[in-house]
Structure 1
Amino acid sequence: MAQQQSGTIPPGWVGGFAQSNPKFAYPNPDLSSLPLLDNLANIDLLQRQQAVKWPEFSWESVIGDPKSRCFQMFAPYISRIGYTNEGRVYSIICPQQGSCSPSFGCLNIEVTVTGQRGWADETGQEKVAADLTVEGKIWFSPSALQNPFVKFLWGLFADSKLPFPARKADAIRVTLHNSDDPSKSILPGRMGESARFKSPDFARHPGKAWSVANLEVGIGPIVKTGHAIVDDFNELTMELVNLASGNLLSPGNVLTWNVWCEEPALVDRQEWREHAEKWRESIDADHGAPSGPGTDPRYFDGTPFKPIEALVQKEIDKINAWLKEHLLALTQAAKAK
């Protein structure tokens, strides 16, 4: 059962959609009668939302070793679910993270929702049930921190017209699937904390959150672009991401998040449309998430996760060597275009 905090829900709640089909009910909601809808196609129908103030993520930093499990709260309000006064879900904002450095500019990581369906209920014991299809996207963007050489290189990437991940449209695409069955793409988001593991107290928020639900994804391989030079660069980038994060997006791993929500609120549709761009602009300016920082990854006992700096630097050196090796080819490609 979800932890609830007493509070007044905003006016206008009608409800009823969660009860419109007996198969929607817990303990095993079946939402298959609903179509998977485009996540951005029905923003004009949104009236209400539940915002995730405490998005608590977890994964094994050594795949297969439960003792290596890390816990990290991403930035507050990084996710939310939007629905009508009756409770039909029409849009879900999912996580976006970013970090900047002089060596690479800004690295953006986003879980992009490609389809969703579900219900929300503000007065029942169970607050939400939703299915999602998602894709991981990783790309670089200009940074207020980047040095002139890096700025020059990213300019070459753009001018070459090859699909280097220098913008979201050409992002590295990480396949994500149902953690119980890699052949299935639909991910169930259900009430309560994940039963896969026990969370430490610092990753739990009973008494403060209005509700809690959980979702998890299995990590698959990245999608090839068909351009060998780009695919080589993307593989090197993913090696660096996984070394620095403790295999956060390593194929074969499972990424879980417990989403601890605030009580419902009304939706500002224009703000909803602009949410993702606002976050990206803040990251690129090296201001971090506009809602404030999350936490660093920690093990169950609170010990901080620390990547082996020598290995991370070695991977950075490999990418720099790759860039220098291909500098002439990139310059020629840019001139040819």
Structure 2
Amino acid sequence: MNASKTLQTKCDEKKITPNHIPAKGWKGGFIEKHPELQYKDGVADLTSLPLTDNLDNVEKIKRQQRVLWPEFTWLTKHGEPDSRCFQMFAPDVSRAGYDNTGQNWAVICPQQGTYIPGFGTINVEVTVAQQRGWVNESDKTLAIDMIIKPKIWFSRDANQSALGKIIWGAFELANIFHHLPVSKDQAIKLDTSSTIKMPGVDNPEVIFVRDKLYTPNGLDNLPAFTLHNNVAWNYANVEVVIGEVVKTGDDFVDEFNQLVMNLFNLGSGNLLEVDSTLAWNVWVDAPTKVNQTEWRNHADYWRRSIDVNHCSPDGNGSPVRYANGTEFSVEKELIDDALQAIWDFIKSHI
């Protein structure tokens, strides 16, 4: 029995319509004026561009490429290639936003959740703190650097089980004295780093979005169900090494946060396991024009839908699957044990 479900599998089916023809208005010219930023021997060095805060220049964004097919992959067990799983997150969880010349000014990154019936949703948001880069529609290339800050917190299920009600009651009591991850403002934070060593980049937090597809070691080809050549306009890839949970300085909260991460990783197949590599191939539809108000509100729109409806607003993603197509599952008893561990911890401190 699969005890946890991603939000996408719980929602009613809804599909966003891909755009197949680039919107009018593309001028280009940015990358042509900056040859130092272009690919050389497969490497694009962006260090001469300053990193800018992700939401400081939204008024400059005129065009966007929407990630309608975000294909993620990771090992559910360290060092075991056969344990590799794949999952397409819900459409339009990520976007690149740039001006008509091709300079990139902002990135929207993924939001996701693992829904545990009777308890609630463990939410994940990859917040982009800073970015720099370029997009060239003329030859379908891009290069973007970004610094990301994953955050994890949970929201309650409207139809709580008896154990869920007890646990949430304890959360509310403990939260009077400690900042538990029961809201985005009090979220668990993770360190991340890049798998790639880029010349001139000393900050390990800088993550690289680059051309081509990511193919895991040990696989000659990506599974057919992860490919979208027949519908996507273009693609790129990203790789991130998952780091430790950031300490809060409160021993109670730090131990509690680790129990929450244990529960999340159990339900998601170790999606955010320490020292694992999380990679995704970002398949985009053709460039569209940007509504800047909608862009600013996009993350809140998603968050409301996930918090309130446990639902991804623009359609369903896929279940977690192994390369042969078999679905990943976790026994309900294991989820119950992880919930019990959280309850036992809270009970021993109140």
- Fold shared by both chains (TM-score > 0.5): yes
Q: Do residues 207 (structure 1) and 227 (structure 2) align?
A: no
Alpha-carbon distance, 1:239 to partner: 1.0
Q: Do residues 18 (structure 1) and 34 (structure 2) align?
A: no
TM alignment of 1:158-197, pairs within 5 A: 158-160=175-177, 162-180=178-196, 184-197=204-217
Q: Which of 13, 21, 36 is the aligned partner of 1:8?
A: 21
Q: Where does residue 315 of structure 2 map in the other structure?
A: 292
Alpha-carbon distance, 1:102 to partner: 5.4
Q: Where does residue 129 of structure 1 map in the other structure?
A: 143
Alpha-carbon distance, 1:311 to partner: 2.5
Amino acid at match of 1:47: K
Q: Where does residue 254 of structure 2 map in the other structure?
A: 231
State the distance in 2 between where 1:156 and 1:260 align: 44
Q: Deviation string for 1:175-194 (max 9, x for gaps)?
A: 11012469711111111111
TM alignment of 1:79-158, pairs within 5 A: 79-101=94-116, 103-124=118-139, 126-146=140-160, 148-158=165-175
Alpha-carbon distance, 1:325 to partner: 2.1
Q: Deviation string for 1:18-49 (max 9, x for gaps)?
A: 22211222221111101111111111111100
Alpha-carbon distance, 1:323 to partner: 2.1
Contact kept? 1:143, 1:284, Cα under 8 Å:
no
Q: Which of 318, 327, 330 is the aligned partner of 1:304?
A: 327
Q: Deviation string for 1:43-70 (max 9, x for gaps)?
A: 1111100001100000011111111110
Q: Do residues 57 (structure 1) and 57 (structure 2) align?
A: no
TM-score of the two chains, using structure 1 as the length reference: 0.90
Distance 1:62 1:44, change over 3 A: same
Gaps of 5+ in 2: 1-17
Highest RCO, 1 vs 2 (Cα 8 Å, sep ≥ 6): 2
Q: Deviation string for 1:56-108 (max 9, x for gaps)?
A: 00001111111111000000111111010111111100000124445433311
SS of structure 2 residue aligned to 1:18: helix
State the distance in 1 between where 2:92 and 2:28 align: 24
Alpha-carbon distance, 1:196 to partner: 3.1
Q: Where does residue 333 of structure 1 map in the other structure?
A: none
Contact kept? 1:118, 1:130, Cα under 8 Å:
yes
Identical-pair percentage:
42
Q: Where does residue 245 of structure 1 map in the other structure?
A: 268
* Structure 1 residue ranges (4+ consecutive) displaced by more than 6 angstroms after TM superposition: none
State the distance in 1 between where 2:98 and 2:196 align: 28
Alpha-carbon distance, 1:120 to partner: 0.8
Amino acid at match of 2:176: D
SS of structure 2 residue aligned to 1:19: helix
Q: Do residues 275 (structure 1) and 295 (structure 2) align?
A: no
Alpha-carbon distance, 1:151 to partner: 4.6
Amino acid at match of 1:174: L
Gaps of 5+ in 1: 329-337
State the distance in 2 between where 1:183 and 1:88 align: 22
State the distance in 2 between where 1:324 and 1:15 align: 60
Amino acid at match of 1:188: F
Q: Deviation string for 1:213-235 (max 9, x for gaps)?
A: 00010011100100011111001
State the distance in 1 between where 2:167 and 2:345 align: 13
Q: Where does residue 46 of structure 2 map in the other structure?
A: 31
SS of structure 1 residue aligned to 2:32: coil
Distance 1:19 1:153, change over 3 A: farther
